[in-house]
Every structure is written in C-alpha cells, then in structure tokens.
Amino acid sequence: MLTRAFTLVLSLTTTAATAEETLRIGTSVPHNHYLTRSIKEFADEVTRRTDGEITFDIYDSGSLVSDQQLDEAVVNGTLDIGVVSASILAGTIPALNIFAVPFYFDTREKLDRAVPLGAPIRTLLDDEINDIGAQALFWMPFGYIALVTRDKTVHTPADMQGLKIRTFGSTVSDFVESVGAAPVVTSGGEQFLALQRGIVDGGLTGWSSIVDRRLYEVTQYVIGTDHMYETHFALLNDDTWARLTEEQRTIFREVSLDLEAKLMDRIFETNDAARTTLSETMEIIDLTPEEVQAWKVATAPVKETFLSRTGTVGQTVFRAAEDIQ
C-alpha cells in the first residue's frame, strides 16, 4: 500500500514537472536595447498568464548565438525563440530583402500599409517564414537605418566613394556598392571594434543601436539617410509550438498581438530619443530634399538586383511594395 502511494505521489510530481518548461530566447543586442526589452516584456507576460508554467531564459548580446546564426539556431532548436532581423533571415527567404530596397518604406504612412497583420506584403512574407520550420510570433519594428562615419561628413553619394562601410545583408551591401563604397559584412556585436580599429570607415545600423552599442564613442557623424526600414521577428521554433497546450498557444497569440500593436509607436519614440541623445556627442547630418533625390537616383539599380535574385515571390512582394508608393 505504501509502495502504491509512493508511486502515485511520484507520478503526480513528474507530471507537474513536465508541465513546466523553460524556453530559450536569443537576441543579438544588449540587455537594455529596445529589442531585448520588448522580447522580455513578452516573456514576462506569458509567464504571468501561464502561472509560471512557461518561463524563459534570455541570452542577449549574442551571448549564445550571434546575429548571423540566430535564424538557424531557432530552426534547429538551439533556441526556442530568436529575435531575428529581416536582413539575416533574407539569407533563407530572399524576398525579405524588400525592406532594404532604398526609399520604398521611408514614411510612416507606407509602413502602416505594409507591415500590419493582414497587409498583403506581411501575408506574403509570413507565408514564406512558415515554411522554414518556424513562425513569426510577432513582428518587431527596428526602425530606419542610418549611416555612421568615423571622420568624414557625408551628404551625397559622391561623398561615399572609396569608403569601407559595415553592412549586414546582401541588399544592404548592394546599396553601399551602388554609391561607390565597399561593403564589409560584420555582425552587430563586432561593429564597434571594426569602427574603432579602422577596419571600416563607417557603418549602417539602427538609431537605437548607435546608442546602445556605444558607437558614438568611435564615430563622429551620423547621417540620417533613413533609406531603409528594418524589422525583426520573434521567430518561434515549430517543435516548441507543437509542445504547447492549446491554452498556452492562445496566450502566446494574445500576448503577441497586444505587444505588436504597441511597438510601431514605440520604435519611433525610441529613435527620436536616440537622436536627442546622440546630438550631445555626435554631429547629426540631415539630408536636404535635393540630397535625398541624389541618393534615390544613385541607388535606383538596387531594386533591379533585388528582382533578379528573388524569383516569383520577390516579384510578387515587389509589386505589393509598388502599390503603396
């Protein structure tokens, strides 16, 4: 009788233990960065709403996996969730490079027609993501990309001639080449040293990353090209999703929808705050309309390269992008 009672207690204990799970989240940015704070907000709310059945370990700053391998780490199960950029995931889904086609998403109005759930571009790209062994739980806007330089002011494409510029994706590199500069693909975590040591003369990155990665310590100028929009995804492994109960899945969906609804406003506020902070330590160069037009003309071939590399899906996505211009 005692043996049967002990067995029952052991069985109940084992069931309770297996009902609880700690999921691994990876980001490439520091703990205080907008992206890490946003995914932590998601994690904390899921933990609260599941009464602690689901908890999370967050590995920020590329401490477990670098930004270049985040998508692969999610698909192979090293991570359950990765905060993955469109430019990195474009290595698997080339059509995601649509956001790096210069000046196609350069206003809030265009973004509001392109990236919300149900928008044609969003639907097309979500369908592609769903085929790789993962899904985008929610999209995490990263905002516009700016150019930082060590010791040279830049206003027009002619000023870029001969410079070595840190990039982070194929279409981003095409943009740099189109203005006569040399792209150097470097992970986010390595760009500080690349700039400090003069391996590159400048780099393309988000406004918030200039602050949070302390790039203002190794560069003098930030040029507000704002020519491309970068988004990230809370990319979830399919096997992890399959292990969740239906109730847990519902919580994941609801928390994702609630958070994503806040993030577009939040990233614009974050980037405005970054500009204010950077104005105290760097010279911010905002381009005139005439200078922007010169950049548009010089970088126009990038869209043709995008179309040549992305097949039928890329062409369909590009037509949807044309519709919002």
Bridge pairing between strands 164-167 and 202-206: parallel
- Output the pLDDT for position 18: 39
Contacts of 165 (CB under 8 A, 6+ apart): 147, 176, 181, 182, 183, 184, 200, 201, 202, 203, 204
Q: Do the Cβ atoms of 185 and 168 come closer than 8 Å?
A: yes
Q: Do the Cβ atoms of 209 and 110 come closer than 8 Å?
A: no
For the range 70-74, what are the long-range contacts, defined as Cβ-Cβ under 8 Å and sequence gap of 24 or more? 70/26, 70/28, 70/235, 71/132, 71/134, 71/235, 73/26, 74/26, 74/134, 74/235, 74/236, 74/237
pLDDT tens for residues 95-129? 999 999 999 999 999 999 999 999 999 999 999 99
- Output the pLDDT for position 8: 39
Residue-range domains of the chain with CATH = 2-323 (3.40.190.170)
pLDDT tens for residues 239-283? 999 999 999 999 999 999 999 999 999 999 999 999 999 999 999
What residue ranges of the chain have pLDDT lower than 70?
1-19
- Output the pLDDT for position 224: 97
Sign of CA dihedral 188, 193, 195, 199: negative
Type of residue numbered 114: A
What is the rounded CA–CA span in Å between residue 127 and residue 123?
6
- Output the pLDDT for position 17: 32
- Output the pLDDT for position 19: 60
